[in-house]
Homo-oligomer: A and B are copies of this chain.
Amino acid sequence: MDKKKNISMAVIKRLPKYHRYLRELMENDIDRISSKELSEKIGFTASQIRQDLNNFGDFGQQGYGYNVKELYNEISAILGLTKIYKTVIIGAGNIGQAIANYTYFDKVGFSVQGMFDINPKIIGLKINDVEVLDIDFLDDFLRKDNIDIGIICVPKNSAQKVCDMLIRNKVKGIWNFAPVDLQIPEDAQIVVENVHLSESLLTLSCLMNDDIN
């Protein structure tokens, strides 16, 4: 497994895209693909692709291309997709509901075990078969169940409090949609991935700005 270690962040960020394209190839019954063909589809250069995939083992064979299924399985393993992740969604507004309704996440192994909200109008609703519970039950729920990932979809003022509770209960990953940088103690064994929508929109307007292009 030595080859897997020390994969750079830049490569890690590209892996999900490889995963998505390889999955589509499999769905279209394509068994082999050359780095050149993959390059045309995915938009990275062929040499970039060969370099990236070289990190994970010998899947390319000169003149034969990559075995799609083997490569897909290997990338799935590196992405940690060979097990089921138990998740909770905190904040069952539009974003929380969107995630709960996104069947792809369930398909690749992210299973929503609980949803929590503070709003009496939302508590009790069933979203994709999961009942929204009062957020007062969250601490207890985390303590009893073995939750892997907390998905934070609450407003920014409540996000840190939820984050602290997730850390206290040994959750291993946080997917954060609140527009705030969470404070994580240095000794916490937890990984955070942010989706900062406002930063994405401002990147778009920046790229549309003729002054800098």
Q: Which of B109, B203, B206, B212 contacts A5 (CB 8 A)?
A: B212
Please state if A172 and B110 are interface contacts (CB–CB under 8 Å): no
State whether A207 and B173 are in contact (beta carbons under 8 Å apart), knowing that A16-B196, A98-B98, A198-B20 are contacts in the complex: yes
Interface centre among A101, A179, A201, A209 (most CB of B within 10 A): A201
Please state if A204 and B173 are interface contacts (CB–CB under 8 Å): yes
Within 1-43 of A, Cβ neighbours of B (below 8 Å) are at 1, 4-7, 12-13, 15-17, 19-20, 43
Please state if B208 and A148 are interface contacts (CB–CB under 8 Å): yes
State whether A205 and B80 are in contact (beta carbons under 8 Å apart), knowing that A20-B179, A104-B198 are contacts in the complex: yes
Please state if B20 and A80 are interface contacts (CB–CB under 8 Å): no
**Residues of A at under 8 Å CB distance from B?**
1, 4-7, 12-13, 15-17, 19-20, 43, 77-81, 85, 93-95, 97-99, 101-102, 104-105, 108-110, 148-149, 172-173, 175, 179, 181, 191, 193, 195-209, 211-212
